[in-house]
Structure 1
């Protein structure tokens, strides 16, 4: 597995197009892999996330089975005269995880639940959880199955902060997709290292093709 970071130049027109449409960004990320097995395998898949630092710095993070070639993104939306992108081996970190460890984390996710729009509806639909406490509960309820527990603060509340909360609508084919998104920053404790590794390489929740589901870790004393 590889973890790649690419800095986007938001002043460029093509960059603004990518940043405004998860479908367009998904296609650009998919184009970075010539071989299908570098994009997805039976156990892992490519995940991506956009992180904004301050008001003008935007990074694209990609976790993938194979090493991506982002030349096309440099040409369309990057900084061609500076560092293009950095890919690092991810297996070392994944293999080092042990129960009991505490890590700072970041996750952009699609906190949603399935249900019927009306009592007599035949098919279920996915509805985004819009309130902040519901979004926190969404992650808390899934933590154990993904191999971690959220650390708690002195007041007993989960050590997690939400930002980037939005509902985004974009084109896909002939229709529209509406996606509720939230970014979680916090501290977690590893409870099942194998399950956490699967979450970090397979994603959490829905909307993985559109920038959701990527969980990354950093030393607990650092910012995720």
Structure 2
């Protein structure tokens, strides 16, 4: 049985107050997008719904890609933006070993600080990775996800901020990667598409887009 997922492409209305609010605060964006999935999903609703999203921006437009098992864009404010929804089943069915693809993903490349032995049992800080270290992080995660990367084009993007109540604002360092690859493990890649890659999935990281690479 093919996995179940839908993808909404929402062209945001820059004049919408709800959009302006969500672009300022990742917590608000997360809350708005959780309205697209069913209610009462238990203690981990985002994970249960399979909700992932990515913000793609150009000089003139901002587009949200939102993925989940089921999506209902009518639950967003009327002036939020225009949404097109498609079933991802054909894409999953097309994933075969050796398939050449183009990809895009925003990730939060980090490593965990190694603590001295006397602090065994405690978790170190998460340290953002940049430059070649971030590229190596993505190449390694892509291999685990069933992709052999051919080209890797990194684009640093603005850090996502979300201010928890009564605490300093938290920043997530993000990098967008575009490039080409070959599918090496369709099952691992399907799992990665459905569950996302890396951390900060609630704040716009982890959603990978795939398309067959055009042949000359």
Is the pair's TM-score, using the shorter chain for normalization, greater than 0.5?
yes
Paired position in structure 1 for 2:53 = 48
The alignment status of 1:133 with 2:138, answered yes or no, reads: no
The C-alpha deviation readout for 1:23-79, integer Å capped at 9, x for no partner, is 111110001223456x6576x7110010013x120110011001223442443x32x
Query: Do the aligned residues in 2 keep the contact of 1:111 with 1:180 (CA within 8 Å)?
Result: yes
Alignment of 1:65-76 (within 5 A): 65-75=69-79
**Deviation of 1:218 (Å):** 1.7
Question: Is 2:150 aligned against 1:163?
Answer: no
Q: Show the 5 A alignment for 1:1-224.
A: 1-36=5-40, 45-53=50-58, 55-75=59-79, 77-78=80-81, 84-116=82-114, 122-129=122-129, 131-151=130-150, 159-175=151-167, 176-221=169-214
Distance 1:70 1:210, change over 3 A: farther
What is the root-mean-square deviation in Å for CA atoms of aligned residues?
Answer: 2.3
Match of 1:154 in 2: none
Q: Is the 8 A contact 1:105 1:185 kept in 2?
A: yes
- Retained in 2: the 8 A contact 1:100–1:189? yes
Instruction: Tell me the TM-score normalised to structure 1 length.
Output: 0.83
Q: Is the 8 A contact 1:117 1:125 kept in 2?
A: no
Going from structure 1 to structure 2, the CA distance change for 1:142 and 1:31 (only over 3 Å counts) comes to: same
Separation of aligned partners in 1, 2:212 and 2:161? 34
Deviations 1:92-147 (A, max 9, x none): 21122001011110001101111147886543221111x22121111111122111
Q: CA deviation at 1:197?
A: 0.4
Q: Residue by residue, what CA displacement relative to the aligned partner does 1:164-199 show, whole Å, maximum 9, x if unpaired?
A: 433333212332221010111100110000000000
Q: Please, which runs of 5 or more residues in structure 2 have no aligned partner?
A: none
Hey, what's the Cα distance between the residues in 1 that align with 2:86 and 2:160? Answer: 31
What is the TM-score with the length of structure 2 in the denominator? 0.85
Q: Which moved more, 1:139-148 or 1:184-193?
A: 139-148
Are the aligned partners of 1:10 and 1:56 in contact in 2 as well (CA < 8 Å)?
no
Q: Which runs of 5+ in 1 are unaligned?
A: 79-83, 152-158
